[in-house]
C-alpha cells in the first residue's frame, strides 16, 4: 500500500531539489491588509509561507508561524505596529516546518491549535523534520525549538474571539494528513493553508491527491469571496478551482501513462512538458517532476491493490 508521510522517499528527494541553501530562502515578504483587521504576511517565494493574523477587540489570532523564529518575530513586529493586545490563539494549518517552526515565538499565547495529526507528527517526527531542514543551511534554523500544538481537534472546532467566529474544518487527507481549512463565514473568507498554492506549482511530498481534490471540492461549496492561500497572492473562488484543476490534470496525465505501462522516467518525460506549457505563468515550475513522481507512486500503488 502506498503511504505518504514525513519519512517518504519523495519528501526527501523533493527537498533535496528545492532546499539548496540560503538562496532557497530568497525573497522579501510583505504584510498587507486583506480585509478590515485581517492581515497577511505574503511569502517571499523561497522556503516561506503566508502568515495571517486577525486583530479583534479581545486579542489577536495568528495562523501559521513561518519557517524560523526570526521570521516569526518579523510577523510579531507587524502585529505590534498595529496593536498591543495579546496573542490569544495560534493555529497551524499543517505540520510542515515553513508553517510551524516559528511556533515558539507565539507560545506565550498559551494555546496553539491544529488537527490532532499535526501534534502527533511533530511529537513523533518533528526532530527528524527539523534535522532535514537544517541540512540545507536555511538561516535561523539552529534557533528552532519544535513546538507542537497543545490543543487539537478531530473533525471540526469553533473559535470565538472579539466577535469573530473561526471554523476549523478537517475534510480528510490532502496536502498532508492533517490539513485545517479555516472558514470565517461573516467575512466569506477561507484560509486554506497549503491546500492552495496560488499560481504556484504545489509542493506534494506528503500529498494524497484524490483526497486533496475532495477537500477542494468541499471548499468550493463554502460561500467565499476571499481565499488566503498557504503560498502566493490573495485570491478568491477561482483560486480554489485553479488548484483543483491542476491536480486533476496531473492525475489524468499520469494515469494515462500508467495505463500504458510507462515507467516513472517515461511518465515524467511525457507529462512534464505538457504541464510546463499549461502552467507556464505559474511559479515553481521546477517542482513539476516531483509532483509527477508523487502521482506515479500513488496511482501505481493503487492499481496494484
Residue ranges per structural domain of the chain: 9-304
- pLDDT number for residue 10: 43
- pLDDT number for residue 24: 54
How much of the chain exceeds pLDDT 70, in percent? 90
Residue 27 has pLDDT above 60, yes or no: no
The set of cell numbers assigned to 244 is 483543483
- pLDDT number for residue 283: 94
- The SS3 assignment for 233 reads coil
Q: Which of 143, 152, 63 is nearest to 106 (CA)?
A: 63
194 CB contacts (<8 Å, ≥6 apart)? 49, 93, 94, 96, 99, 175, 176, 179, 202, 203, 229, 230, 231
Q: Which of 69, 71, 32, 36 is nearest to 52 (CA)?
A: 32
How much of the chain exceeds pLDDT 90, in percent? 82
Note the pLDDT tens digit of each residue in 84-132. Answer: 999 999 999 999 999 999 999 998 888 999 999 999 999 999 999 999 8
What CATH number matches the domain at 9-304, 3.30.1600.10, 3.60.15.10, 2.60.120.10, 3.40.50.10790?
3.60.15.10
pTM: 0.93
Q: Which helix (H) or strand (E) holds 231?
A: strand 226-231
Angle, vertex CA 252, rays to CA 246 and CA 256, nearest 5: 145
Report the b/e string of 158-195 with b at 16+ CB within 10 A: ebebeebebbbbbbebbbbbbbbbbbbeebebbbbbbb
Amino acid at each position: 500500500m502506498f503511504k505518504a508521510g514525513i519519512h517518504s522517499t519523495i519528501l526527501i528527494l523533493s527537498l533535496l531539489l528545492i532546499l539548496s541553501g540560503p538562496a532557497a530562502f530568497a525573497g522579501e515578504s510583505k504584510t498587507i491588509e486583506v480585509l478590515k483587521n485581517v492581515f497577511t504576511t505574503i511569502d517571499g517565494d523561497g522556503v516561506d509561507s503566508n502568515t495571517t493574523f486577525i486583530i479583534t477587540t479581545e486579542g489577536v489570532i495568528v495562523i501559521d508561524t513561518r519557517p524560523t523564529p526570526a521570521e516569526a518575530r518579523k510577523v510579531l513586529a507587524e502585529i505590534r505596529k498595529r496593536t498591543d493586545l495579546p496573542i490569544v490563539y495560534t493555529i497551524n494549518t499543517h505540520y510542515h516546518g515553513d508553517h510551524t517552526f516559528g511556533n515558539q515565538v507565539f507560545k506565550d499565547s498559551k494555546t496553539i491549535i491544529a488537527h490532532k495529526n499535526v501534534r502527533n507528527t511533530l511529537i513523533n517526527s518533528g526532530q527528524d523534520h527539523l534535522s532535514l531542514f537544517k541540512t540545507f543551511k536555511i538561516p535561523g534554523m539552529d534557533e528552532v525549538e519544535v513546538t507542537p500544538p497543545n490543543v487539537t481537534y478531530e473533525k471540526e472546532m469553533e473559535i470565538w474571539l472579539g466577535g469573530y467566529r473561526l471554523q476549523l474544518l478537517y475534510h480528510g487527507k490532502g496536502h498532508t494528513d492533517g490539513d485545517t481549512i479555516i472558514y470565517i463565514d461573516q467575512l466569506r473568507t477561507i484560509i486554506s493553508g497549503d491546500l492552495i498554492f496560488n499560481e504556484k506549482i504545489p509542493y506534494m511530498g506528503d500529498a494524497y491527491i484524490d483526497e486533496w481534490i475532495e477537500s477542494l471540492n468541499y471548499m468550493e461549496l463554502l460561500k467565499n469571496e476571499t481565499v488566503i492561500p498557504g503560498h502566493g497572492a490573495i485570491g478568491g473562488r477561482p483560486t480554489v478551482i485553479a488548484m483543483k484543476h491542476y491536480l486533476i490534470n496531473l492525475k489524468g496525465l499520469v494515469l494515462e501513462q500508467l495505463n500504458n505501462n510507462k515507467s516513472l522516467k517515461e511518465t515524467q518525460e511525457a507529462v512534464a512538458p505538457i504541464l510546463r506549457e499549461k502552467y507556464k505563468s505559474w511559479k515553481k515550475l521546477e517542482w513539476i517532476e516531483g509532483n509527477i513522481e508523487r502521482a506515479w507512486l500513488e496511482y501505481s500503488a493503487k492499481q496494484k491493490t
